[in-house]
Amino acid sequence: MKMKDIKLIALDMDGTLLDEHHKVSRENDHAIKEAEKQGVTVVLSTGRSIRRVRDYVVSLQLSSYLVTINGSEIWGPSGELVERNPLMTPYLQWMLDLSKTHKAKYWAVSTTDNWYNEVPEDVAAHEWLKFGFDIKDDAVRDTILGELRKNNNLEISNSSLTNIEVNALGVNKAKGLRRVCELLGVSMENVMAVGDSLNDISMIKESGLGVAMGNAQPVVKEAADWITGSNTGSGVAQAIRKWVL
């Protein structure tokens, strides 16, 4: 591979930037800060909501855009909401019923809260952004996936081998990154995207340099241009040092 002119680094969090204890290693922290000193923008592109990202933004001293909830929300450098792509309430209610039918654990993300195995009674009174299933049983997970795929209005991915994440159709990390690139005047060809799960594939494929973690799911590695070390071995820092610094 030829060296790319990387102007923006897009980082997934869980399984990528964060280790098994949900911490940022010293190596990752230093590499990110060195890249920013050289004028490269670092953007977190995550399935997490803004509520579960802010502390990391502060500790990493980041001051750029954030792509959260797989692209359902984009946040600006001053903490302002730039874009929101909601999941229609009838779809969320249908998935909630599906989880109950199959006795599956679930979570849901609204504009104001994260909900785990429960939702408010007045579901329609909230604006929803993502629904997730957490299913250890392979057969049950396959059954629910089959039902979800019959609905052509949903974007289906995962952030681990045992879960399913659902956003509104067309909402994904690549779409969020394209919007951020437009705002910054950067081409996707000048982006290095790093991730480990199905919700990272879109940005890995569309970026000029797509990097899969050593611990990434096999299909993610197949989609990537290069494979770095694992999240427990500061693979993010390895990728930044090889391709950026």
Domain boundaries, the chain: 8-84+172-243, 101-168
Where residue 3 falls among pLDDT bands split at 50, 70, 90? Answer: confident
Catalytic-role residue among 5, 12, 19, 122: 12
* Percent of the chain scoring above 90 in pLDDT: 98
Q: Are strands 163-168 and 154-157 parallel, antiparallel or unpaired?
A: antiparallel
What proportions of the chain, in percent to the nearest 5, are helix, strand and coil? 40, 25, 35
Determine the pLDDT at residue 4: 80
* Percent of the chain scoring above 70 in pLDDT: 99
Provide the residue type at 190 as one letter. Answer: N
Strand partners, 75: 66, 81
Asked if the model's pLDDT at residue 13 lies above 70, the reply is yes
222-237 pLDDT, tens digit each: 999 999 999 999 999 9
* Residue 137 a catalytic site member: no
CATH class of 8-84+172-243: alpha beta
Strand partners, 116: 107
